[in-house]
Amino acid sequence: MIYSQQHTLKNQNKSDRSLPFEDRIGAQLPAWRNRIKSLLDQYGSYSIGEVTVSKVYGGMRGVFALATEISHVDPSMGLLIRGYTIDELLELLPKTENTAYPLLGGLYYLLMVDEFPTLEDALSVEAMWRERQGIPGYVIDLLRTMPEAAHPMTLFSQAILAMQPSSVAAQAYHQGISRYEYWRPMLEDALNLTANLPMIAATIYNIKYRDGKIIEPDPTLDWSANFAHMIGKGSDGDYKELCRLFMTLHADQENGNASAHTSHLVGSTLSDLYLSCSAGLNALAGPLHGLASQETLRWLLAVQSRYGGLPSHEELEQFAIETLSEEKVIPGYGHGVLRRTDSRFTAQFRFAEHYLPEDSLFNLVKRVYEVMPGVLQNTGKINNPYPNVDAISATLQYYYGITQPEFCTVLFGTSRLLGLSAHAVWARALGLSIERPRSLTTSLVEKMVMPTIQERSSVSSMAYRE
Ligand code: NMX
Ligand code: MLT
């Protein structure tokens, strides 16, 4: 335990354990609202960063523009969920007997309630999910009508959008609920939606790659392992462990990454959770974001096919240089915030060393890790030449028979919606504002940075006129 030593498990008894799940969140809100209000009252006009011209044109990289209590990405420590590192989460989150990886019910409890879960808490979330299982038949019919060429991420986003008519929050809003109470029906939607994510993912998999038959969830299995069961892999104990690990690692990544930010933006208009989560998935489906897991696997398979096995270091370097010379990115490498190897990569690497040390694709992943940082460093422009979560995730899935590269992002999204839904509930609980930054034309930017003093002040006042 490194980071969270100061507060490890101390908040395990923060709220009254006899309170229902919703009230454990509700009990914390007055203090949170006061804390943020007094911060704004006293320090609202303090600057905590600078917006430069390169940041405006450079995807707002490095601009602190969002606040969330749920998670934070530290450039060297990596992801911290409620202050806990990936390794701490893997070690400390509750597990059931004979499993080495966490129950996702426990992680969702931590994301939502901000208290470190006991086994009982984790099991209570798993039980709430179990009670809410079931996707409407018309959603399955809709997925079946889609053409074979439809990407599984398109189906995933569509399925969630199609479930929107059942939004409890949308209905409550139309009946006139207070803005400050809106988080309660949002939480209801969050539980209903997240309960069904493994089933939605498995249904997509079964329609696209198996015989189309739907397998009902097994009530004796946990949320992650049920995905394995519903795609016909229920008897593969090691794959169920991988599902638990995968779902733990991909569940959240603060609020500024493209899918979280998209989902947050949509939710800030008071759109319901189905609308904002579907939008978030559309951002995750981009190759610079979650689709990189698919792209990595395709890249690794192309290397294998070129060299008929494990290439030498020199061959691999050559292949990478070719990819770069075609003005493509090396998928699975680089990051907008991290400046070290992603802790989520390392956790999956450890799993592979234990469960599939001889696998040829894993050995290629290893070799890429030896070669790629140097190659990328030599480009002279990359800020982080190390692997991210996607550099290995699809390789592990492939080993267990998920051989369709494009499906891996659906698994990423299945897990990530746990985080996005928790952010959405808390954003409404804290009454965060609708997002509405300003934009400028290049002429205005030029005038702002290259004018005489007199011109500059008139342009600034024009640009900032409300
Ligand atoms: N391969 C080739 N070039 C790269 C790579 C890479 N893996 N990563 C960054 N660069 C380039 C980048 O395109 C930019 O070039 P230019 O100035 O010509 O536009 C330059 O290096 C500086 O970029 P950075 O500031 O290091 O990275 P940035 O924050 O802009 O982008 C990523 C972050 C993740 C989008 C970028 O590293 C990338 O495209 N990686 C490959 C795709 C990938 O693995 N994405 C998954 C990220 C994790 N996830 O799951 O979402
Ligand atoms: C993520 O997990 O969302 C990725 O690492 C992307 C990011 O953080 O920018």
d(CA 449, CA 465): 18
Instruction: Measure 55 CA to ligand 1 centroid, in angstroms.
Output: 15
Residue with CA closest to ligand 2 atom 6: 257
Q: How many secondary structure helices (H) and strands (E) does the chain include?
A: 23, 3
Residue with CA closest to ligand 1 atom 17: 381
The b-or-e profile of 354-384 (16+ CB within 10 A means b, else e) is ebbeebebbbbbbbbbebbbebbeeeeebeb
Any ligand 2 atom below 6 A from CB of 257: yes
Any ligand 1 atom below 6 A from CB of 334: yes
d(CA 272, CA 170): 6
Any ligand 1 atom below 6 A from CB of 378: no
Instruction: Inform me whether the pLDDT recorded for 216 exceeds 80.
Output: yes
* C-beta separation of 421 from 277 below 8 A: yes
The pTM (predicted TM-score) of the whole model is 0.95
Average pLDDT over residues 425-429: 98
Calculate Rg over the CA atoms of the chain.
23
Tokens standing for 44? 């609202």
Residue 171: C-alpha distances to residues 25, 185, 277 (Å): 22, 9, 17
* 41 included as an active-site residue: no
Instruction: Inform me whether the pLDDT recorded for 23 exceeds 50.
Output: yes
Q: Which pLDDT tens digit goes with each residue over 266-314?
A: 999 999 999 999 999 999 999 999 999 999 999 999 999 999 999 999 9
Q: Considering only CA atoms, which of 371, 385, 278, 374 is closest in space to residue 333?
A: 385
User: Which residues neighbour 377 within 8 Å (Cβ) at sequence distance 6 or greater?
Assistant: 385
- Cross-strand bridge partners of residue 71: 81
> Which residue in this structure is represented by tokens 């969702």?
108
Tokens standing for 4? 């969270």
Any ligand 2 atom below 6 A from CB of 336: yes
d(CA 268, CA 291): 25
DSSP 80: E
Any ligand 2 atom below 6 A from CB of 343: no
Residue with CA closest to ligand 2 atom 2: 253
Q: Considering only CA atoms, which of 144, 395, 93, 424 is closest in space to residue 261?
A: 424
Average pLDDT over residues 51-79: 97
Average pLDDT over residues 119-125: 97
d(CA 122, CA 428): 24
Residue type for position 354: H
* 72 included as an active-site residue: no
Q: Give the number of other Cβ atoms within 10 Å of residue 109's Cβ.
A: 28
Q: Residue 466 has what pLDDT? A: 40
Tell how far CA 12 is from the center of its chain: 25
Residue type for position 279: A
* C-beta separation of 351 from 397 below 8 A: no
* C-beta separation of 145 from 132 below 8 A: no
Atom of ligand 1 nearest to the CA of 333: 7
Burial of 47 (0-12, 13-18, 19+ CB in 10 A): exposed
Q: Residue 452 has what pLDDT? A: 60
Instruction: Inform me whether the pLDDT recorded for 75 exceeds 90.
Output: yes
Residue type for position 182: Y
Q: Residue 434 has what pLDDT? A: 98
Instruction: Measure 359 CA to ligand 1 centroid, in angstroms.
Output: 28
Q: Residue 3 has what pLDDT? A: 45
Residue 387: C-alpha distances to residues 303, 340, 376 (Å): 17, 8, 11
Q: Which pLDDT tens digit goes with each residue over 217-249?
A: 999 999 999 999 999 999 999 999 999 999 999
Q: Residue 453 has what pLDDT? A: 55
Average pLDDT, the chain: 94
Atom of ligand 1 nearest to the CA of 296: 44
* Residue among 72, 229, 261, 335 flagged as catalytic: 335
Average pLDDT over residues 87-94: 98
Which among 63, 73, 252, 253 is the best mutation to test ligand 2's pocket, defined by most ligand atoms within 8 Å of the CB? 253
Q: Residue 382 has what pLDDT? A: 98
Q: Above pLDDT 70, what percent of the chain?
A: 93
Q: Which pLDDT tens digit goes with each residue over 139-198?
A: 999 999 999 999 999 999 999 999 999 999 999 999 999 999 999 999 999 999 999 999
Q: Above pLDDT 90, what percent of the chain?
A: 92
Average pLDDT over residues 87-105: 97
Residue 70: C-alpha distances to residues 37, 110, 148, 260, 284 (Å): 18, 9, 38, 12, 19
d(CA 54, CA 447): 15
Q: Residue 182 has what pLDDT? A: 97
Q: Considering only CA atoms, which of 51, 64, 67 is closest in space to residue 438?
A: 51
Q: Residue 19 has what pLDDT? A: 85
